[in-house]
Amino acid sequence: TFKYLCGLMSGAHLVTRAWIANCHQERVWRSPMDDELVSGCTIAHSIVSRGPHNTLLAPEKMAGKCFFVFGAFQGGSNKTEVEQLMRLGGAKLRTELPQKPNETKSTIIVCDGSTLNYEQFQELRPKCSIMVQPNFVTDSCSKCHPRPLHEYQVPAPTPPQGAAASSSVSGVKGRQEISR
């Protein structure tokens, strides 16, 4: 769930119900290290990854990376929640698309490929190093380590009929030909 992923990203103690029951039965707060779960592993194995943002994942996953979240999301991902998870992971969120070439090389666009049309894809693709589906963020959080970006790459939408011949033309002229 979103709350669980937020807990993982913020470094909160995530304990089992058994831990709560045992503490209640023994009337003492036990060390959570034995019963604490982080996506199928104990916190003791993951705590060494704690980074400058006080999260378990920031140094490995999102710190130092720039993301731009584009468009509407369908299905299980909520745009606001994805942005919040990225912030908790130490990501830098851009408020606008990069304009300088050195910025485009370090920017990852998170967008739902099912809501992206051909023209949007053609316009966005040169502005980033890669375009990924929103489940890259949620899957990386739930696995407690970075997922390979290429596995979540947004495929190019099918060009509209008649646009295939002009799709290799760049610039404004190319977009005018595509929109005819």
Please name the residues in contact with 124: beta carbons below 8 A apart, sequence gap of 6 or more. 70, 97, 109, 111, 116, 131
Binned at pLDDT 50, 70 and 90, residue 43 comes out as very low
Whole-angstrom Cα distance, residue 107 to residue 91?
11
Helix (H, G, I), strand (E, B) or coil at 175: helix
pLDDT band at 112 (very low <50, low <70, confident <90, very high): very high
* Beta strand 107-111 pairing with 130-132: parallel
pLDDT by residue (tens digit) across 126-140? 999 999 999 998 888
Answer whether 0.85 is exceeded by the pTM. Answer: no
Please, which residues bridge with residue 38 across strands? 41
